[in-house]
Amino acid sequence: MDKLIPATVQDGSARAQITDKKADVLLENALSALASGTRRGIVQSFPIKGADGKPSSVAHLLPVRGSAHDLFSRMNSILVVMPLPGPGAPPVKVLQALFDLTPSEARIASALADGRTIDAIGMDFGIARETVRSHLRSIFAKSGVSKQSSLVRLLLGVTLPRPGS
């Protein structure tokens, strides 16, 4: 986290704050949902824009539960920020882990990043166009974007570290 302070994460009066205002609102909402018990035990993930306006990181809010409360008795969650090193869409399993997507949602997100249309995805996967659109709405909610083009840009900005780097 030291490398992310103060450009990405800052120390606020009551909690850590993210310099990307949209991401900070998502963090605030996620913390409120955890505190109220409406999202108890659910990991929440969202993108953080960098200085150039492109996603630079993905934040994961991990709830503290079970025996972890023995170590973290005064916390209800832990914030983990994963930097995104460069262009290129990651494998489906990585998309699932980064954005808490279901396997179907991750396959659809990956297909969109590959440049396929909603109609083509429906035909390829043998599902109705409206089913693809329903999955897409869920993907938007989980990834923190609201447009298909923004989702594709986000996904193409996610890469895996190369061996030895």
Q: Nearest CA to 30 among 42, 20, 21, 19?
A: 42
Distance of CA 120 to the CA centre of its chain: 25
Dihedral through CA 81, CA 84, CA 88, CA 94, nearest 10? -20
Find the radius of gyration of the CA atoms of the chain: 17
What does CATH list as the number for 87-160?
A: 1.10.10.10
pLDDT tens string 35-94: 887 766 677 888 888 766 666 778 888 887 766 656 767 777 888 887 765 555 677 888
Check if the beta carbon of residue 78 is closer than 8 Å to that of residue 44. Answer: no
The CA distance from 148 to 153, in Å, is 9
Backbone angles phi, psi at 94, to 5 degrees: -70, -40
Domain regions of the chain by residue span: 1-84, 87-160
Tell me the whole-structure pTM to 2 decimals: 0.52
